[in-house]
Amino acid sequence: MSKNSPTAPKRSHERTINKCAQVDPPPELPGNLHRVGIAADHGGFELKQFLAGKLREAGYHVADFGDRQLKPDDDYPDFVIPLARAVAAGTVDRGIGICGSGVGASLAANKVVGVRAGLIDENFSAHQGVEDDDLNMICFGGLLVGHALAWELTQTFLAARFKGAERFCRRLQKVAQLENPTPLKENPCHQELPPTRQKQRPALHLANSKP
């Protein structure tokens, strides 16, 4: 690719995106965030093995949810869903799910109540997703993301903390409402209907009760 090609990546933009990367692991494990779960199918097996080794070297306790061997016909839900359930239950502090593209892993993980998973391939989202959206599981495409970049993103993800601002909590509550919808009769917003609509309800009830 010619350096003058219009499709060539802009070096300055690339540096801006990656300037938040933490190449070296944090010198001390932050708080009690030291249990990391990881799972992958055949498409992410090699990357899983690499990241698990790097995490152990950095002092993290790694829970490997499989696959434990490279099997070309295995299925990502068999490994990613148990990992996601462990994240939701607090058995592990955060999770890393990997498949060939990362799409299936993120899709499966987000089906588990309490999991907030994102398919990440750049550093800004790796920390902003945690800071603003309390991301607790990161997903990679094992056939798309190189080992070095995946390790940088993992470190950025693990070092980030949820900011807890009111607007972030408000938005997360709206997302959580989709997972645990409140019945209409118990919905506190039910009493905030416009007065005209509230007055119509008894009239409709009486009309329906006529013989």
Catalytic residues: 99
The 3-class secondary structure across the chain, one letter per residue, is: CCCCCCCCCCHHHHHHHHCCCCCCCCCCCCCCCCEEEEEECCCCHHHHHHHHHHHHHCCCEEEECCCCCCCCCCCCHHHHHHHHHHHHHCCCCEEEEEECCCHHHHHHHCCCCCCCEEECCCHHHHHHHHHHHCCCEEEEECCCCCHHHHHHHHHHHHHCCCCCCHHHHHHHHHHHHHHCCCCHHHCHHHHHCCHHHHHHHHHHHHHHHCC
Given the DSSP bridges, would you call strands 61-64 and 94-99 parallel, antiparallel or unpaired?
unpaired
